Amino acid sequence: MDTKDPPETKDRQQKPVEKSPLPQDGRKVSRRLFMQIAAAAGGAATISAVLPQGIGRLEAADPPRAIVKPTPPELFYQSGSNLEMRWEAMYNRGTLVPTEMFFVRNNSAAVPRIDPAAWRLRVEGSGLSRPGEFSYEALLAMPSISMIKALECAGNGRNFFEVSHGKKIPGTPWNLGGIGVAEWTGVPLREVLERAGVKPTAREVMAEGLDEKKVSRPIPIDKAMEKETLLVYAMNGQPLLPDHGFPLRLFVPGWVGIANIKWVGRLEVSEQPLYSEYNTKRYVFIGPDYPPQPPALGPMLTTQKVKSAFELPWNGTIAAGRRLLRGRSWSGEGRITRVEVSLDGGQTWQPARLREPNQEQAWVRWDLDWEARPGIHRLQARATDNRGNRQPDKVPFNEEGYAYWAVVTHTITAT
């Protein structure tokens, strides 16, 4: 699937909708998954019955909760309503991050309770000729696809601005664990828009969440009409957890996390530009290298850049001796083609071995044989994607600490 060539405006109402499931990995959506998700439509509490025991429950009598699923400290760093994945927990694991280990980023203080039987997706705005509503069951009956892609918080790596620029930035103190790769299953957004009569003059689509802040952010109509922009209802072969957007979230491959609105209840399709706090005051670049773009304080964040991380604890300790040094690299714009590793703080570099699968807008696992002698080691990794993007030594400062994609020094002590 080519996600880089959006359909022409004149073809929006003429281009036929793909009527059969076409997952990126070649597998059709299983009937078992369909039945599990359909069962969830019977009521909010029913979702617990179709998920692995203990993975996360949200009962009607529960008080408001910032995070619903378990948060064991060996898997996560917790900061308020946010969970950062521990990279050392990914050692010896495959491409997918298990749902119970997947990071959580919430703009609101509590996960909303949503009864899928009563829930409706409202689709409205000047860019539609047939606005209306869709039930959970109606979405499940539509053509769907599955794909393996990364989801990453815009602030992933925020802490490293303090290291590189000497300025501490308020906000969730992410290292590099605000990232995960999962299999996402859902309905192409364009399927819903075409059923609602999207006009050739439509310009932007804004999804709005049902959380207390009603988080919303627009995307261009051409991005909305790409076949891999999805309204997702399943993750890793199970219905979405409440923490990850149940019953429905938007998924925009390669774009910053805030574009992937959770708990979607409304879509506005407009013939005019759309604005919210999340594309004017927040999730925009603000700083001396980024001129304002009124009404926005700076350029809007869109695609993610290239990053790399080691599957090691931050500032931790490991046993000295021969070991397989492992890590992962990813890009929101393409597929990783090369990873170089330095074991001496950037003085010398050597290529890492890339492991399959290596998919666009996901990540590639890589490794290197290493004799870890006793002492402190300053490890670095830099990746290059098939679009020619390579991690730089430094990136410009911005006041919110977004999009840190420079080479990071990972300090580890061998004893």
CA distance 172 to 161: 13
The reported pLDDT for the residue numbered 64 is 86
Give the integer Cα–Cα distance in Å for 412 and 415.
Answer: 10
Predicted confidence at residue 12, as pLDDT, reads 38
How many Å apart are CA 300 and CA 280, to the nearest integer?
8
What pLDDT score does 63 carry?
81
**What are the residue boundaries of the structural domains of the chain, listed by start?**
22-53+65-280, 307-414
Is 363:309 a contact under the CB 8 Å cutoff?
no
Q: According to the model, what pLDDT value does residue 62 have? A: 74
The pTM (predicted TM-score) of the whole model is 0.89
Over the chain (415 residues), what is each successive 10-residue block's mean pLDDT? 34 34 41 64 52 62 88 96 97 97 95 96 98 97 97 97 93 96 98 98 98 97 98 97 98 98 98 98 97 97 98 96 98 97 97 97 98 97 97 97 98 97
pLDDT at 254: 97
Instruction: Return d(Cα 225, Cα 193) in angstroms, integer.
Output: 8
Distance CA 118, CA 109 (A): 23
Write down the pLDDT at residue 367. 98
Instruction: Kindly report the CATH class assigned to 307-414.
Output: mainly beta
The tokens for 43 are 């009521």
Residue with the two structure tokens 């909760």: 65
Return phi, psi of residue 305, to 5°.
Answer: -100, -170
Q: How far apart are CA 192 and CA 189, in angstroms?
A: 5
Domain 22-53+65-280 has CATH 3.90.420.10: yes
